[in-house]
């Protein structure tokens, strides 16, 4: 394939650091989740006339995408693999992403946005205004994708919410935000996410070295507990490959 040189014009900043923390599409992001584009110095004037647009296209380089294959199994298709060019998978010949994000404010060389599907540190290649009259085709056919399914409502019991906040304060990981991203759609699909049935009923979602126990009923996901993923025997072992056992010991000690 012919090579072409591109340069980034800025970087994206947000709380999402890992791929599983990012929603499949920006419109599925938790409401109010803040993000921003930090443009390179000298580009402030280039962004001045974005003021007044509700949305912009962010063209990005998906720097954490791995290798690619001609056919992939996308999240919303469990029966067969699909040609990668017929998907929006980040793992493609050129890992370039496009995101129609909500533009909240333009402050010099900083664009404050919401409803995004990018990770912290993602290089931004370009910014373009979103124009509904030429960018939106609501009646267009969507091939194998079909219509989006209804999202589940994700809630935490008061006790689980308090334990999630303890994890966030101790680790900067955010169980509530990740649960809203991962469990709102097909929450029990163990082939697509680290979910397994729980002894005695319900399900468990593995979030790094933490575990979220949840139940599903009538379109609602209820997280009933947030707990350590280490057993007592594992915490007694001095080996600490993830460097977080002290945090887990303190968490279990209450």
Over residues 154-180, the mean pLDDT reads 93
CA dihedral 169, 171, 177, 182 (to 10 degrees): -150
As a whole number, the mean pLDDT across the chain is 90
d(CA 29, CA 23): 6
| DSSP secondary structure letter of residue 84 | G
How many other β-carbons are positioned within 10 Å of the β-carbon of residue 219? 9
As a whole number of Å, the end-to-end CA separation of the chain is 57
Per-residue pLDDT band at 75 (split at 50, 70, 90): low
Lowest mean pLDDT among 4-13, 128-137, 145-154: 145-154
Name residues whose C-beta falls within 8 Å of residue 9's C-beta, 6 or more positions apart in sequence. 39, 40, 43, 124, 125, 126, 127
Question: Using an 8 Å Cβ cutoff, are 214 and 203 in contact?
Answer: yes
How many other β-carbons are positioned within 10 Å of the β-carbon of residue 121? 13
pLDDT for 148 equals 65
Over residues 45-62, the mean pLDDT reads 96
pLDDT for 78 equals 56
Lowest mean pLDDT among 76-80, 172-176, 226-230: 76-80
């Amino acid at each position: 394939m012919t090579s072409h040189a591109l340069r980034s014009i800025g970087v994206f900043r947000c709380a999402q650091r890992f791929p599983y923390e990012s929603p499949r599409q920006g419109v599925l992001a938790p409401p109010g989740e803040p993000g921003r584009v930090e443009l390179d110095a000298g580009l402030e004037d280039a962004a001045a006339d974005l003021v007044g647009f509700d949305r912009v296209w962010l063209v990005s380089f998906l720097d954490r995408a791995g290798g690619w294959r001609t056919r992939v199994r996308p999240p919303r298709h469990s029966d067969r693999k699909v040609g990668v060019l017929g998907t929006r998978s980040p793992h493609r010949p050129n890992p370039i992403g496009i995101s129609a994000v909500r533009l909240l404010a333009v402050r010099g060389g900083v664009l404050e946005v919401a409803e995004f599907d990018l990770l912290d540190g993602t290089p931004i290649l370009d910014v373009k205004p979103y124009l509904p009259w030429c960018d939106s085709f609501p009646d267009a056919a969507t091939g194998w994708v079909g219509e989006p399914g209804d999202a589940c409502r994700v809630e935490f019991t008061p006790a689980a919410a308090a334990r999630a906040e303890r994890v966030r304060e101790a680790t900067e990981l955010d169980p509530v935000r990740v649960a809203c991203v991962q469990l709102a759609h097909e929450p029990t699909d163990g082939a697509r996410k680290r979910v397994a049935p729980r002894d005695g009923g319900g399900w468990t979602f593995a979030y790094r070295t933490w575990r979220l126990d949840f139940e599903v009923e009538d379109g609602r996901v209820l997280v009933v507990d947030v707990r350590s993923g280490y057993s007592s025997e594992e915490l007694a072992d001095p080996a600490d490959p993830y460097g977080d056992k002290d945090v887990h010991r303190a968490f279990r000690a209450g």
